[in-house]
Amino acid sequence: MQVRDNVLPLWRQLQTTAKVVEKVRNGTSGTAAIDAVALELRPGVQALAFHAWRHLGRAQALRDKLAAKLPPPAADALLCVALALAWCEVDAPYDSFTLVNQTVEAAKRNPATKAQANFLNACLRRFLRERDGLVAGTDEDLVAKWNHPAWWIARLQSQRPHHWQEILAVANAQPPMALRVNCRKSSVAGFLQDLQRIGLAARSGNSSVVYLEGAVPVRLIPGFDAGNFSVQDAAAQLAAPLLLTGLVKRDGLRILDACAAPGGKTGHLLELSDGEVTALEIDPRRCERIQENLDRLALSAEIVMADASRPGEWWDGVPFDAILLDAPCTASGIVRRHPDVRWLRRPSDIGQLTGLQARLLRTLWPLVRPGGRLLYCTCSIFLEEGSEQIQTFLAHNRDAELLPSPGHLMPRNGLKDREVLDNPMCDHDGFYYALLEKNMG
C-alpha cells in the first residue's frame, strides 16, 4: 500500500480513517463512508481504511489485551486503526513510532477523542514495548488470525468444512484489477496490445476478461472514455453470457435486468445482443449511475426507477424472454474488493436478505414467457443465498427447470491457488448462479 507520498498530515488521514471505520461499525457501507470524505483526503483514507479492515480482527484482539474495558466508540476506532496498521512491521505503511505519534495527535485534535489521548498513547506505547508477546498471545484467536467476525467464520466452518480456511485466506488478499473488454469495440488481443504500448502489465482470462497486475485509475487506461472496456470482476462477467447463450433468438429479445445498478451487467447484455433491455432500479441516484455507464458505452436501455417486487407499478404485461435477477445479498463473496463488508454485516442480515430474495423470485417468475429464462445470482458465498434458496424455489414451482449452471463459485486469487471446489476460472470473487427455464407446458 503506497500512501507515504501524500503531503497531507498523517494525523488528519488517521482521524478521518477512524471516522470511516466507526461509520461502518454503525451500519454505513464503506463505499458510502469513503465517498463522504473530502476529495483531497479520499485516496489516502481509502488506502488506510482498506488496510485496517483487512487487519481489524487482529487489531481488536490486541485492543482487548491493552485496554481493561472497551474505550468509547470514537477512541476505540482510532486505537483499532492504529493497531491494524502497526501490528505487522513488514506490512505497515509507516514506521511504528510515526503511527503512534500521529495517532495521538489525531486524538488530541478531535473533540470526540481528546479526553482519551493519554490513554491511547499509553496503550500504543505499551504495544511497541511488548509487540511480540502481545501478537503471539492473539495467534490462537480465530478472529485475529482470519480477520473476519466469529459468526462468519463459524458459518463457513459449518458450510464449507474442507475449504473454509482457503476461502478466508483469499478474502484477505488484494485482488487484481479485472476488466471486461467490450466486444463491440475491441478484442482481448487488441486491448492487450494497447495496454502493452503504454507499459501496463496485463494478462487475459476467460472470454472477455483482462487482468491488470496493479490497480490503475480507469481514465489512465486507453479506451475508457470511448467505452472499450468496463471494470468488472471475472465472476460477474459470467451473468450476461449465461443468460443469453442457447436462447432460440439472440436479437430482438425482451430482457429485464432487475436490480440493475450500477449497470455493469446491463451494459454487458447490450454488448452481447441487440435486445430490448429494461434496467430496473429503485434508487434514483443509482439510476443515474446506470445511465452514465451506458452513455460511456454508447448503448441504450429503458431505465425504470421502481421496486422490482411490485411489478403492478411498472410492468406493461408483456412477458420477458429473459430476466437477470442479481438479487440483493450479504455481498459475502466480494470482500476481497470490499473488505468493510465483513464488519458491516450482522448474522440477522442473512434472514432478512433471503426473505427479499425469495420474494423477488416469486414476483418475477410469472413475468417470464414459457420457454424463457431467469438467471438468479448473488455475490454471496453463503448457502442460504444460493443453492438453498433455489432448492426451495424449485420445490414450489413445478414449471421451473434448473439448467446447467455454475452454482457456487468460491473466491479464488490467482493461478497458484489450490483448486477450490470445481471453479473453472483462476481469479474471481465469490458468486452463485442458477439458470432457470420455464417449461413450455
Nearest to 296 by CA among 305, 304, 285, 288: 288
Helix (H, G, I), strand (E, B) or coil at 441: coil
Single out the catalytic residue among 80, 329, 379, 426: 379
**How far, in Å, CA of 179 to CA of 196, rounded?**
15
Identify whether the C-beta of residue 293 lies closer than 8 Å to the C-beta of residue 231. Answer: no
Identify whether the C-beta of residue 143 lies closer than 8 Å to the C-beta of residue 60. Answer: yes
**How far, in Å, CA of 51 to CA of 163, rounded?**
24
**DSSP character for 312?**
G
**How far, in Å, CA of 360 to CA of 354, rounded?**
10
Nearest to 267 by CA among 211, 185, 198: 185
**How far, in Å, CA of 233 to CA of 296, rounded?**
19
**How far, in Å, CA of 361 to CA of 340, rounded?**
28
Amino acid at 183: C
Rounded to 10 deg, the angle between the 10-25 and 96-108 helix axes is: 70
**How far, in Å, CA of 369 to CA of 257, rounded?**
15
Helix (H, G, I), strand (E, B) or coil at 297: helix
35, burial (CB in 10 Å: exposed 0-12, middle 13-18, buried 19+): exposed
**DSSP character for 252?**
S
Nearest to 25 by CA among 270, 412, 342, 331: 342
CB-hemisphere CA count at 13 Å for 100? 16
Question: Looking only at Cα atoms, what is the longest distance across the chain?
Answer: 74
Q: Which three cell numbers stand for residue 199?
A: 507499459
Identify whether the C-beta of residue 309 lies closer than 8 Å to the C-beta of residue 363. Answer: yes
Nearest to 179 by CA among 147, 199, 152, 203: 203
Q: Which three cell numbers stand for residue 165?
A: 480456511
Helix (H, G, I), strand (E, B) or coil at 281: strand
Helix H or strand E encompassing 183? none
Q: Is 377 a catalytic residue?
A: no
Residue positions annotated with a catalytic role: 379
